[in-house]
């Protein structure tokens, strides 16, 4: 696909939107991309994974906003879908948006300003507007203008959600694409950022620029069985995670919660012990202990934790 020239002198951007089974939600996500208050040309590539592409989405195109749909021709799953879209992107800037999220109108404009003013930055994230259970809305403002490797080892950082990222295309030449070997593509955006941050800090536009659904479904949708496997893979492939005691404890506690959610109490308690040994106040380990002790519906428990501002990430 050949990129159209940028309107108004602003750089062209390719946006990759992976999707599967969310016809109405993805339409809203694409509309939010098309409606950006940004002077440059924007290509929005919708990558359908394991389903027939919805060509009707291309009707959302308008001048300087082109919507293209395609099938995932890489490894099935989220990482493969992202890579399939990247393979068709030839703009110097690439952004990502998940199919159940949406952008606020000034997202691209403000993030591009940040990238052009800071040539050393390869990636820029943004604050987010969380759509929580029971119709609650919480604005998460980025806590710093820059995220370093040590920051990222300690926490996934909500302001680096996959739906916030605007990246220079060359970052993928430096670090490669999304890891298609990651089980079920769980935390594929975080894994990619762990590689990208080796080349320098990541920028943040701190104000909320994307709305993110947090209704408690994404952790559990066909994922419980592979969460622990994926996180163990992450620890093996990124040994630097062990250099951050709270960050290492966080992931060990996440594994514990996944095992507890599956009813594997003994395995969960082993992971809890490892987590607390690394960081005695690790909240993820505490949540796993509650799950082991109560046997509550893990979706309910996670939603309750989110109500007080404490998820698993």
Nearest to 178 by CA among 221, 232, 237, 222: 237
pLDDT, position 218: 45
Tokens 């820059």, located at residue:
146
Contact 43, 12 (CB under 8 A): yes
pLDDT, position 173: 96
Q: How far is Cα 163 from Cα 301, in angstroms, rounded to an integer? A: 25
Pairing of strands 123-131, 202-213: parallel
Contact 128, 210 (CB under 8 A): yes
pLDDT, position 207: 97
Per-residue model confidence as pLDDT tens digits over 155-184:
999 999 999 999 999 999 999 999 999 999
pLDDT, position 96: 98
pLDDT, position 309: 59
pLDDT in 10s for each residue of the chain, 313 residues: 434 444 458 999 999 999 999 999 999 999 999 999 999 999 999 999 999 999 999 999 999 999 999 999 999 999 999 999 999 999 999 999 999 999 999 999 999 999 999 999 999 999 999 998 778 899 999 999 999 999 999 999 999 999 999 999 999 999 999 999 999 999 999 999 999 999 999 999 999 999 998 764 443 344 677 899 999 999 999 999 999 999 999 999 999 999 999 999 999 999 999 999 999 999 999 999 999 999 988 878 877 776 665 566 6
Tell me which H or E stretch contains 146: strand 146-147
pLDDT, position 308: 65
pLDDT, position 8: 52
Alpha helices in the chain (DSSP H): 23-34, 78-87, 107-117, 149-154, 170-175, 188-196, 224-237, 245-261, 265-278, 283-294, 298-307
Would you state the structure tokens that stand for residue 80, as one six-digit string? 């493969």
**Greatest extent of the chain over all pairs of C-alpha atoms, in Å:** 61
Q: How far is Cα 14 from Cα 41, in angstroms, rounded to an integer? A: 9
Domain 7-213's class? alpha beta
User: What is the C-alpha R_g of the chain?
Assistant: 19
pLDDT, position 306: 66
Contact 48, 69 (CB under 8 A): yes
Q: How far is Cα 104 from Cα 127, in angstroms, rounded to an integer? A: 11
Tokens 């943004």, located at residue:
126
User: Structural domain boundaries of the chain?
Assistant: 7-213, 224-307
pLDDT, position 135: 87
Contact 178, 185 (CB under 8 A): yes
Q: How far is Cα 38 from Cα 200, in angstroms, rounded to an integer? A: 27
pLDDT, position 120: 96
Nearest to 94 by CA among 108, 105, 81, 106: 108
Q: How far is Cα 207 from Cα 295, in angstroms, rounded to an integer? A: 38
Q: How far is Cα 70 from Cα 85, in angstroms, rounded to an integer? A: 8
Contact 64, 7 (CB under 8 A): yes
Three-state DSSP string of 167-215:
EECHHHHHHCCCCCCCHHHCCHHHHHHHHHHHHCCEEEEEEEEEEEECC
pLDDT, position 3: 42
**Using the 8-state DSSP alphabet, how is residue 96 labeled?**
E
Full-model pTM: 0.92
């Amino acid at each position: 696909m050949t990129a159209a020239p940028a309107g108004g002198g602003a750089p062209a951007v390719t946006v990759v939107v992976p999707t599967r089974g969310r016809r109405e939600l993805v339409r809203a996500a694409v509309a939010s991309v098309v409606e950006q208050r940004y002077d440059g040309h924007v290509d929005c590539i919708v990558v359908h994974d394991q389903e027939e592409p919805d060509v009707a989405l291309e009707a959302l195109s308008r001048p300087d906003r082109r919507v293209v749909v395609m099938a995932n021709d890489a490894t099935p799953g989220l990482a493969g879908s992202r890579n399939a879209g990247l393979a068709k992107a030839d703009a110097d800037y690439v952004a990502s948006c998940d199919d159940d999220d949406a952008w606020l109108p000034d997202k691209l404009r403000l993030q591009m300003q940040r990238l052009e003013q800071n040539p050393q930055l390869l990636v820029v994230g943004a604050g987010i507007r969380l759509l929580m259970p029971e119709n609650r809305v919480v604005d998460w403002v980025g806590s710093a203008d820059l995220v370093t490797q040590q920051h990222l080892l300690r926490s996934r950082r909500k302001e680096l959600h996959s739906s916030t990222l605007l990246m220079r295309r060359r970052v993928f030449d430096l670090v490669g694409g999304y890891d298609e070997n990651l089980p079920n593509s769980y935390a594929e955006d975080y894994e990619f950022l762990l590689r990208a941050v080796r080349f320098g800090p990541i920028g943040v536009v701190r104000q909320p620029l994307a709305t993110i659904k947090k209704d408690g479904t994404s952790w559990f949708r066909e994922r419980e069985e592979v969460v622990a496997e994926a996180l163990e893979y992450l620890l093996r492939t990124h040994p630097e995670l062990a250099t951050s005691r709270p960050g290492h404890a966080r992931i060990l506690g996440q594994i514990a919660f996944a095992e507890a959610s599956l009813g594997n109490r003994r395995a969960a308690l082993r992971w809890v012990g490892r987590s607390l040994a690394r960081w005695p106040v690790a909240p993820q380990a505490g949540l796993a202990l509650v799950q082991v002790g109560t046997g509550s519906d893990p979706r309910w428990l996670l939603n309750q934790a989110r109500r007080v501002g404490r998820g698993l990430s």
